[in-house]
Structures are given as structure tokens and as C-alpha cells.
């Protein structure tokens, strides 16, 4: 069965891809066999991240347009906040991407964080690798806008695009310790707003020491995603980074991060959080966390 699914995915069967994503997401027995049969490939993964309100969804929509205009195919994973009631994805922001659902060159899937603290889905690594089996040229992952904890994307994406807005000027120093240091490309979205040029200048000055110490230049692209202004420049910058960056050097590190995460997840199987809560509640005031976890 799994080989048949894989063959269908490789032929571009989007229904088979969607079904297999659900099987992996829900850990249907035997799904590991499908993952183990996936071929190795080097389809670039583009991570789109940034603080809330930066316009990531609109920018992703415009980037899809730029990619398809070049005759390329793209798979998109949009990570949404989870409903507190059923852990499903809250899809409000996806309405603006509705133009692409019937486009044969675009595959879009929304996933819920399901309580994951890193702005990603617990099975994002497996689902991304599954999508790489499909005939696509790029994979885009748009994360939830939750700030510095989103740095998990750097362990998954080949190219990380950090989206900020001119009003973020006062927040730059607080973001610097996490979110601001993972970017391969910066996008200053909503660049038609006042003081956008000043913000870009200040951002460049802040990054100058990093450029000097690492002998690199991180592009800063100004965009107005609602009108697609600057999005073509962003696409060109992504293509240039993929062509000239040290993706091969980064590959071992990325695979190490993925392997560590998957091994950790596997070791945690069988541990029920609700059961933990019951056991801890029984201990009452005598509870000692470190004595308790020795049993695990």
C-alpha cells in the first residue's frame, strides 16, 4: 500500500499526497514504512517567519505568484494556531490564498501547531520530507507569528526569510537574541509606511558587525505584499541564495537537528501527559520533580 501511495505522489497525485499527510499527521499504524521508503532529494525548503502582524500570509501568497509565473511548482505548508477545543487549525488567514487551490502548480496544506512551542507542527519534519517526494521545485513553510520561539524553523529550512515591519524598530534589540539572528534574507514588509527607509538603514547598521565577522551579506528586501511590490526582488534573492549559499555545508547540521528531534520524539512515545498529571496530583505537597522523573 505504502509503495503505491509513494508512486502516486511522485506522479503528482495531490489527493494521494493530502491523504498521506493526514496518515503521517495522525500516526496511522505503518506510516513509518512510507517515510522509510522516501527517496533522498534536495528540493529547497523556504521558511517564512516573523512576528505577528508582519504580513507573512500575504507575502507568501505573493511569493507563490512570483514562483508560478516562472513556470515552477511549489508546495506550501501553512502552520496555523490550534483551536483550544479540537486542536485543529484556525484557517482565517488562509482565505486570502484561496486563488491557488485549483492551480495545478500549487499545493497548499494548513497544519495546526497542536501546542508545539516552536511555531511549527509536531510532524513538520516528516510532512516536509513527504512533500519533497512530489514533483515540486520549492517548498514554502509559513510559521505561526509568535516571536522568538519561532527559531525552530532554522533547523528545518534551507533558506529562512524573516519578515518584519517598519514599526518594529523599538523591538529590534529584543528580537536580536533569537528571531533576528536566524535570517538568510530579511524582508521589511509594508514598506510604504512612514520611516520605512530609516528602519532599513538602522537594520543594516545593526547587522553590519555580523556581516563583518562572518564575511557574509544578508539581503534586506523592501516589499509591499498587498500590491506585490518588491516580491519579485525577494524571489530573485531566494534563487540567488540557493544557487550560491553553502547549502551543502548546512545540510549535515540540518540533518543532525532533524535526527535529534525525531529521536527525542520517538523516546517520548508512550508517555501520556494526562497520566503524568494524575500521578503528580497523587503526590500532593510531597512531590519532588527530580525524584519523579528518575522513573522515566
Give the per-residue pLDDT at 192.
94
Mean pLDDT, consecutive 10-residue stretches, the chain (296 aa), reads: 91 95 90 89 89 88 95 90 44 58 89 56 86 96 63 76 80 57 88 90 76 68 95 96 68 73 80 82 77 74
d(CA 95, CA 104): 18
Grid coordinates in use for 234?
A: 525577494
The pLDDT tens digits for 276-292 are 888 888 887 777 777 77
- Domain 40-245 belongs to what topology? Rossmann fold (3.40.50)
Which residues is 47 bridged to in the sheet? 141, 160
User: What Å distances lie between residue 175 and 141, 197, 241, CA to CA?
Assistant: 21, 20, 23
Sign of CA dihedral 10, 12, 16, 21: positive
User: What Å distances lie between residue 154 and 99, 183, 255, CA to CA?
Assistant: 29, 8, 12
Q: What is the DSSP letter of 284?
A: G
Grid coordinates in use for 7?
A: 508512486
Give the per-residue pLDDT at 20.
95
Sign of CA dihedral 156, 120, 227, 206: negative
Q: Which of 219, 248, 189, 216 is nearest to 55 (CA)?
A: 189
d(CA 25, CA 125): 11
The CATH 3.40.50.300 portion of the chain extends over: 40-245
Give the per-residue pLDDT at 240.
92
Name residues whose C-beta falls within 8 Å of residue 153's C-beta, 6 or more positions apart in sequence. Answer: 47, 49, 118, 119, 120, 141, 143, 160, 182
The predicted model scores a pTM of 0.82
Give the per-residue pLDDT at 81.
58
Amino acid at each position: 500500500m505504502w509503495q503505491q501511495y509513494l508512486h502516486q505522489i511522485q506522479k503528482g497525485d495531490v489527493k494521494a499526497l493530502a491523504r498521506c499527510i493526514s496518515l503521517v499527521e495522525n500516526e496511522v499504524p505503518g506510516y513509518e514504512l512510507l517515510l522509510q521508503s522516501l527517496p533522498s532529494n534536495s528540493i529547497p525548503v523556504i521558511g517564512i517567519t516573523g512576528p505577528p502582524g508582519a504580513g507573512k500570509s500575504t507575502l507568501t501568497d505573493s511569493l507563490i505568484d512570483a514562483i508560478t509565473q516562472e513556470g515552477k511548482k511549489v508546495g506550501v505548508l501553512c502552520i496555523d494556531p490550534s483551536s483550544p477545543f479540537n486542536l485543529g487549525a484556525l484557517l482565517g488567514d488562509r482565505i486570502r490564498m484561496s486563488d491557488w487551490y485549483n492551480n495545478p502548480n500549487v499545493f497548499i496544506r494548513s497544519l495546526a501547531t497542536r501546542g508545539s512551542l516552536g511555531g511549527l507542527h509536531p510532524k513538520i519534519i516528516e510532512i516536509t520530507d513527504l512533500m519533497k517526494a512530489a514533483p515540486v521545485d520549492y517548498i514554502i513553510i509559513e510559521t505561526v507569528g509568535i516571536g522568538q520561539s519561532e527559531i525552530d524553523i532554522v533547523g528545518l529550512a534551507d533558506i529562512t526569510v524573516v519578515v518584519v515591519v517598519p514599526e518594529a524598530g523599538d523591538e529590534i534589540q529584543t528580537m536580536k537574541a533569537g528571531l533576528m539572528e536566524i535570517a538568510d534574507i530579511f524582508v521589511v514588509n509594508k514598506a510604504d509606511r512612514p520611516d520605512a527607509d530609516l528602519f532599513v538603514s538602522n537594520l543594516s547598521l545593526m547587522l553590519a558587525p555580523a556581516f563583518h565577522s562572518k564575511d557574509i551579506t544578508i539581503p534586506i528586501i523592501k516589499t509591499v505584499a498587498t500590491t506585490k511590490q518588491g516580491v519579485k526582488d525577494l524571489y530573485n534573492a531566494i534563487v540567488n541564495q540557493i544557487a550560491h549559499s553553502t547549502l551543502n555545508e548546512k545540510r549535515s547540521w540540518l540533518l543532525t537537528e532533524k535526527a535529534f528531534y525525531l529521536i527525542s520524539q520517538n523516546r517520548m512515545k508512550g508517555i501520556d501527559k494526562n497520566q503524568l498529571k494524575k500521578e503528580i496530583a497523587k503526590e500532593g505537597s510531597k512531590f519532588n520533580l527530580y525524584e519523579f522523573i528518575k522513573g522515566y
